[in-house]
Chain A
């Protein structure tokens, strides 16, 4: 450019135009400003290699229906569950969801039926429903596929949840970095409202319910179920103390149900068939279908739908196995808040109970496959940096503990004295315990998990 800087002016009065470009270079941004359009986004279905496949339960419409078309949705069994819910009544909906054994898919695995029943039994009649679509656990992208590819399903599932719990208003707390999900959801909410699937007297049932889409601004902590309330209410994104629990005192101080996107979408097959039928899928302790986000050194990374009970090896095989030339070093299960497992754990059953028994977690369904090219020390430092950056700063164990954890790791990485290593490993364990025991919310409580698993399971710093 011969040292001359170029300027592209965006002036007042120019119509705002939104383009999605990632990853972006300076030249590409300049081209966009000067009028060029961004290249078309990747097709949604590309993120879900099993699709299109109508025999799938959660992903059945991905890749074969138009996510912007309500007619397409209705032609593919859309709103059947909502009609059935209205006909069987709120109590029966909760009974079916309870019988299905469905538990939250956001990571905490709380029984959905019990949560709904708790909200439904509150004496306070103003109640809210929040769909937690602030998917920001590193390595998680399952909700994105549902939000972008099957937005009407979320609208329908939220309406059923609201009907069951007696809630009048719903919020979709959407991750700010999901522009296509925003577009598709906005369309789905508006079209559903126009066709009386939302709003007053939905389908002549006498039930009123509407949805507001609320975009997050990029903070990981705002996906914590009580920090969401603060965020929506316009306060600093900090988790609240529990108790009182959200089912009693939630958004705007009212009883509130907070459900993950995948959890809600699971409700449709439960109502369409029955809770009992749904419970036939899976293991003793984990019922139904689960989406896993397989990434890293596999041939076909993406979102995979499996029945609970598949092993880690089967899931990796489903994703086309390891890339050629890769040998397995470790798998990060559950994301940064989850834990590492090693090659010896490939036969681990991906169920909540088997994961718990093995001292790990499925979390939000992250399966990040790391091969020999990955420097585990860098990975650990990246995770430590992540928690340090994302801590809200409210409580001491997390605010300072995540910094001390990062510093101790930095020392360990460069340490060449066994004595010093032992001291810092002890320090890390001490930090892990206080963060787990005394942090206000799940962020601090899990900020040591991945590092702990790398120390104990992968023996990262052992000679």
Chain B
């Protein structure tokens, strides 16, 4: 279930802990990240999404917990009474800097929010591992336990060609940080379709359909809930992708209009992203009590009729 389900009238006990020398109170069951954000402490997050149970895979939100040998992920570590937490130490800064460098050197983070700000906050320099490798194997065919021995002259990346195999959305896994949110949204946390999962191991790990078949041959139902949760732009509406390629995507000029999906009686909330009087993509508010950001193929992609354009 979602981490974000409203607790309603349920009364939650509160827990007292110390964060950065300040005694604070946080509701039982909340996370260190919740507690930090509630007291105005900014902690970077990459793989964290507000509708998916935290996977704590990126390790950029690590904080120091007294008594713990290692740092702990604030996004998923629950508050406990008496915890003494430090969010800004040499160790946490080092850890965040290195995670930003490791991801920045291997993944295209150009569409990931806040990365340049964090890079400068934490003095991260992804290029210090060398120039990105231009030699790319076929990641979908990588064999577990086999790799080319590196010469160290370049830094290996997760680059692979953009997957364009259907009319509705593209998958650019060069931008994928493996946050697992798309897998969880497609699988047991929301859609229960299980069209995608992680394949391969270690650096070869990648999101894949079964046997890496095209989406059209997979179990995908094109709900687009994976696009909704993707934090890096790896999953993208074809409309957005084509406009970006053509250089006509101008997010700052877009308006967002909330409306109700016209198709069935559920009444999902839609947010229409409009540029030049044309719908360019559709999302749903992640804090909406009906959708939690999820839609089906009709609400997500069935907007062409509104544009009232006929095929050429």
User: Could you list which residues of chain A lie within 8 angstroms of chain B, going by C-beta atoms?
Assistant: 219, 221, 236, 241, 243, 381, 385, 388-397, 399-404, 406-412, 414, 427, 430-431, 433-434, 436-440, 445
Contacts and interface: CB of A to CB of B under 8 A. Distances in A.
A393 B129 contact: no
A6 B57 CA distance: 49
Nearest to A423: B128
Contacts of B197: 236
B57 to A, nearest CB: 5
B149 A438 contact: no
B48 to A, nearest CB: 13
B70 A434 contact: no
A403 B152 contact: no
A396 B152 contact: no
A3 to B, nearest CB: 29
Q: Which of B149, B155, B177, B203 has the most CB of A within 10 A?
A: B203
A310 to B, nearest CB: 28
Contacts of A406: 150
Interface residues of B, number: 46
A200 B122 CA distance: 60
B178 interface: yes
Interface in B196-211: 197-198, 200-205
B147 to A, nearest CB: 7
B201 A389 contact: yes
B57 A434 contact: no
Interface in B31-86: 55-60, 62, 70-71, 73, 76-78
Contact of A395 (B58, B105, B153, B203): B58
Nearest to A406: B150
Nearest to B90: A433
Contacts of B220: none
Nearest to B71: A437
A283 to B, nearest CB: 23
Contacts of A409: 152
A204 B105 CA distance: 63
Contacts of B177: 396
Nearest to B59: A438
Given A389-B145, A408-B152, A394 B94 contact: no
B253 interface: no
Nearest to A388: B202
A434 B203 contact: no
Interface in B175-194: 177-178
A385 B155 contact: no
Given A392-B205, A407-B156, A410-B151, A437 B91 contact: yes
A397 B200 contact: no
Contacts of B129: 404, 407-408, 427
Contacts of A385: 147, 149
Nearest to B197: A236
30 contacts: A221-B201, A385-B149, A389-B144, A389-B146, A389-B201, A389-B202, A391-B201, A391-B202, A393-B200, A394-B178, A395-B59, A399-B178, A399-B202, A399-B205, A403-B106, A403-B156, A404-B155, A406-B150, A408-B129, A408-B152, A411-B152, A414-B151, A433-B94, A433-B95, A434-B102, A437-B71, A438-B59, A438-B70, A438-B99, A439-B59
B170 interface: no
B56 A404 contact: no
Contacts of B205: 392-394, 399
Contact of B130 (A381, A395, A407): A407
A400 B62 contact: no
Contact of B202 (A402, A407, A440): A402
Which 5 interchain pairs have the tightest Cβ spacing? A393-B205, A411-B152, A410-B152, A434-B98, A400-B102
B103 interface: yes
Given A241-B73, A391-B203, A438-B62, 20 more contacts: A221-B201, A241-B56, A388-B202, A392-B205, A393-B198, A393-B200, A396-B59, A397-B102, A399-B205, A400-B103, A400-B203, A401-B98, A402-B202, A404-B105, A406-B150, A409-B152, A410-B149, A410-B151, A438-B70, A438-B71
Contacts of A394: 55, 57, 178, 205
Contact of B201 (A393, A396, A414, A427): A393
Contacts of B91: 433, 437
**Residue of B78, B95, B103, B177 most packed against chain A (CB within 10 A):** B95
Contacts of A399: 178, 202-203, 205
A393 to B, nearest CB: 3
A68 B85 CA distance: 55
A390 B152 CA distance: 20
Contacts of B106: 400, 403
A221 B95 CA distance: 23
Contacts of A431: 98
Given A404-B102, A408-B152, A437-B91, A395 B147 contact: no
Nearest to A431: B98
A414 B152 contact: yes
A437 B70 contact: yes
A396 B57 contact: yes
B99 A396 contact: yes
B102 A401 contact: yes
Contact of B94 (A391, A434, A440, A445): A434
A381 B177 CA distance: 26
Considering residues B146, B149, B152, B197, which has the most beta carbons from chain A within 10 angstroms of its beta carbon? B152
A445 B70 contact: yes
A179 to B, nearest CB: 20
